[in-house]
Amino acid sequence: MEFFQIILLSIIQGLTEFLPISSSGHLILAPLIFNLEDQGLALDAILHLGTLLAIIIFFRKELIDLAKGLFDRQGSPETHHLAWCIIIASFPAGLIGLFGGGWIEANLRNPTFVGYNLFFWSLIFLVADRYGSKSSNPNTELNRLSLRQILFIGCAQAVALLPGTSRSGITIAAGLFSNLSHTSATRFSFLLGTPIIFAAGMHKLMQFISHPVAEQTYSNLHLVIGMGISFLVGLLAIQLLLKIVERVGLLPFIIYRVILAGGILLYY
């Protein structure tokens, strides 16, 4: 495997895991556009773990507080509540990924589906963005989320298993529909993504370990480079998304998604 492919896929993973433009869609399309060989399960897992590390480093204080507050209700009821919000909201995506992930991988990872899905959810994101901008009293406190709001955002995250959707995009949109502010919806999307990205990376890694490929096209050095690049680019992407969403909302990403969807459907 050439270093060009490692670098390209690492940058794509680092950017698109967090920006609402669909990481799975780009990772499907990149090998087709650049005529690259399949990156394989090991590299796929390492790239996911690189972006997971980016979340952990960037939100380390919040994650440490959440971990402490998970079973300590007396110390900080608000943190305890938010920690369980994240656990509960992770269940829908975890269950669908466990029981339906194989079918999705086998049947929906194609450019045409990605193109249509990119376009469809762009329209939903636009409606959510306008709804959030017009909200007269958006909620900026994540610990005030109700169980209904939590389950709604969690079920929205499960839909992101469909290639072309974007996990960050659909959870931010669900947060906006739940009357969260743009900034709070984005931060909750990142925190909610931590267990899911970890589970996805570990699942792919376990798949690779249980069904190793006879001839590897990448070395340990490839994997280290890939993880490092996806980590650094992921850190930049987190900061970029927070700043853009706070200032102008989701519109720049929606425009990009529509252009990308149009190009995919015209080409394929």
> What pLDDT does residue 38 have?
61
pLDDT band, very low/low/confident/very high, at 231 (cuts 50, 70, 90): very high
- CA gyration radius, the chain: 18
What are the C-alpha distances in Å from 146 to residues 141, 142, 150, 184? 11, 9, 6, 14
Give bridge partners of residue 180 from the DSSP assignment: 139
186: Cβ contacts below 8 Å, ≥ 6 apart: 168, 172, 175, 241, 242, 245, 246
Lowest average pLDDT, out of 122-131, 132-141, 185-194, goes to: 132-141
> What pLDDT does residue 173 have?
96
83/80 Cα distance (integer angstroms): 5
Residue that is written with structure tokens 């958006």 in the block? 138
Give bridge partners of residue 139 from the DSSP assignment: 180
> What pLDDT does residue 169 have?
95
Q: Tell me: the pLDDT tens digits for 20-79? A: 998 777 876 777 778 776 666 667 778 888 999 999 999 999 999 888 888 877 667 778
Answer yes or no: is pLDDT of 216 > 60.
no
Residue that is written with structure tokens 């931060």 in the block? 187
Answer yes or no: is pLDDT of 253 > 60.
yes
Q: Which three-class secondary structure state does DSSP give residue 139?
A: strand
What are the extents of the domains in the chain?
3-267
94/96 Cα distance (integer angstroms): 6
Q: Tell me: the pLDDT tens digits for 163-213? A: 999 999 999 999 999 989 999 999 999 998 888 888 777 777 776 677 665
162 Ramachandran zone, left/alpha/beta (phi>0; psi -120 to 50) = beta
Are 109 and 28 in contact, with CB atoms under 8 Å apart?
yes
